[in-house]
Structure formats: structure tokens, C-alpha cells
């Protein structure tokens, strides 16, 4: 992006500070028009023919651009991958501790890589590593799901778990909608009771 005297073309298409098209102008005339308003002439589309420039407050433009970039960065969801490491012969106490950490990380929204390291003769018993990972998959089923199935890389076997997405069944959604409709429907008014007609004959007072 080039500003004012750094624009080296003879003509430019100019847009003013309000976004209105001013048409194609000599570059020196466009720079003069910008300076008369106390603003800058900024090239925004250098590859157009002719290049497109805007008359704007460049300092304000930079500030707003940085603010937009900062806001966009804040909205980004950053997912990290945390790792738990096992051996084919990992004891129950160590397993439980690491499985608990993996569960907490998944609940926090992070991915978890579970790795089994094999050494020497352990490579002949890779089924032990696969069994341990299957056990871990069952223990984390409530909070995570497998993104990558067991795979060997050198002397390592690993799973990658991703946080489980909440799934609501269609029936549950319909039940919730019906429940909400019932709670918001006003009660139907009832008519006041009508006293039954008397079957006794009228008295003398009533006849007179």
C-alpha cells in the first residue's frame, strides 16, 4: 500500500472518505484533493487499471485494521494437542492418573494424543499397546471420540482423541418443544357451574 507521493502512476481512480466514486484523476490532483481535506491518498487496489485510491485518514485506517485483526484473533478457537505417554506394561495407578488428565483436557476442549512407546522385545507384543488404547477409548467415551485410530510410527503406537460433540436426538428436540409449548399455553377458561332446577312444587308464597 503506497501513500501520497509514493504513488508513481499518472492516473488513479479515486474514492472519497464517504465511499463515493470521484472517477479517474491525475495522481497529483488526487493528492492535492486529499491534502486539502487534511487526509491521505491511499492506494487500495494497486493491480487495477488504473489503480484505485481512497482519500482517508491513514492513521485511523491503520488503527481500525489492527482492531479488526485483534478482534478476529480473539474469536479464533485455539485447540491444542496434549499428550499422554504409556508403555505396554503401564501399571493401573499410572494409567488412572494419565487417563484422568486426558479426560480433563478433553473437557477443556483440547485434543489428546495417547502414545504407547515400545522398546526392544516389546515390539513383538504390540497387541498389549492396542489393548491399552482400547481401554482408554472406553474410559474416555463420555467426553471424547477417536479422531485417529491406532497407527504405528517407528516404535510408537498412538490414538488421537477429540472432544465429543453434544448430540441431541430428534425425539428429544421434539419433546423439549412440546414441553415448552405446554408451559406457554394459557389455561382454557371454564364456565361457572349452573345450579340444577328444583323438582319440588312451588309453595303458596311463590304462587301468590
What is the per-residue pLDDT for 180? 56
Greatest Cα pair distance in the chain: 121
What is the per-residue pLDDT for 169? 44
The per-residue pLDDT for range 36-58, each reduced to its tens digit, is 888 988 888 888 888 999 998 88
DSSP strand pairing (111-117 vs 156-163) = antiparallel
Return the CATH fold of 81-163.
Translation Initiation Factor IF3 (3.30.110)
What is the per-residue pLDDT for 97? 94
CA distances to 98, 170, 196 from 21, in Å? 63, 52, 85
* Residue environment code for 177-194, b if the CB has 16+ CB neighbours within 10 A, otherwise e: eeeeeeeeeeeeeeeeee
* Residue environment code for 21-36, b if the CB has 16+ CB neighbours within 10 A, otherwise e: ebeebebeebbebbee
- Domain assignments of the chain as residue spans, ordered by start: 4-71, 81-163
Cell for 76?
479464533
Q: How far apart are CA 168 and CA 77, in angstroms?
A: 23
The per-residue pLDDT for range 126-163, each reduced to its tens digit, is 888 888 888 999 999 999 988 887 778 888 888 899 99
What is the per-residue pLDDT for 140? 92
Helix or strand (DSSP H, E) at 75: helix 58-75
Cell for 49?
487499471
What is the per-residue pLDDT for 202? 53
Helix or strand (DSSP H, E) at 134: helix 126-139
Cell for 90?
503401564
Residues listed for the chain: 208
What is the per-residue pLDDT for 170? 46
Q: Name residue, grid cell 477417536.
A: 146
Classify residue 196 as exposed, middle or buried by CB count within 10 Å of its CB (0-12, 13-18, 19+): exposed
Give the homologous superfamily in CATH for domain 4-71: Translation initiation factor 3 (IF-3), N-terminal domain (3.10.20.80)
How far apart are the two ends of the chain, measured CA to CA in Å?
110
Its pTM stands at 0.45
Closest CA to 57 of 16, 5, 14, 10: 16
Low pLDDT (below 50) residues in the chain? 168-172, 183-186, 188-199, 206, 208
Q: Name residue, grid cell 482519500.
A: 55
Amino acid at each position: 500500500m503506497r501513500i501520497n507521493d509514493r504513488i508513481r502512476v499518472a492516473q488513479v481512480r479515486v474514492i472519497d472518505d464517504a465511499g463515493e466514486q470521484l472517477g479517474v484523476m491525475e495522481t497529483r490532483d488526487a493528492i492535492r484533493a486529499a491534502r486539502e481535506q487534511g487526509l491521505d491518498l491511499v492506494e487500495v487496489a494497486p493491480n487495477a487499471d488504473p489503480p484505485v485510491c481512497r482519500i482517508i485518514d491513514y492513521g485511523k485506517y491503520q488503527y481500525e485494521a489492527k482492531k479488526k485483526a485483534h478482534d478476529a484473533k480473539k474469536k479464533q478457537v485455539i485447540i491444542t494437542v496434549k499428550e499422554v505417554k504409556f508403555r505396554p506394561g503401564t501399571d493401573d495407578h499410572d494409567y488412572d492418573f494419565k487417563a484422568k488428565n486426558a479426560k480433563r483436557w478433553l473437557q477443556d476442549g483440547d485434543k489428546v494424543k495417547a502414545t504407547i512407546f515400545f522398546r526392544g522385545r516389546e515390539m513383538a507384543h504390540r497387541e498389549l499397546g492396542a489393548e491399552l488404547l482400547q481401554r482408554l477409548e472406553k474410559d474416555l467415551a463420555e467426553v471424547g471420540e477417536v479422531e485417529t485410530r491406532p497407527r504405528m510410527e517407528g516404535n510408537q503406537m498412538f490414538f488421537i482423541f477429540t472432544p465429543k460433540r453434544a448430540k441431541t436426538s430428534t425425539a428429544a428436540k421434539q419433546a423439549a418443544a412440546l414441553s415448552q409449548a405446554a408451559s406457554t399455553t394459557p389455561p382454557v377458561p371454564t364456565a361457572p357451574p349452573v345450579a340444577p332446577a328444583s323438582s319440588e312444587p312451588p309453595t303458596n308464597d311463590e304462587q301468590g
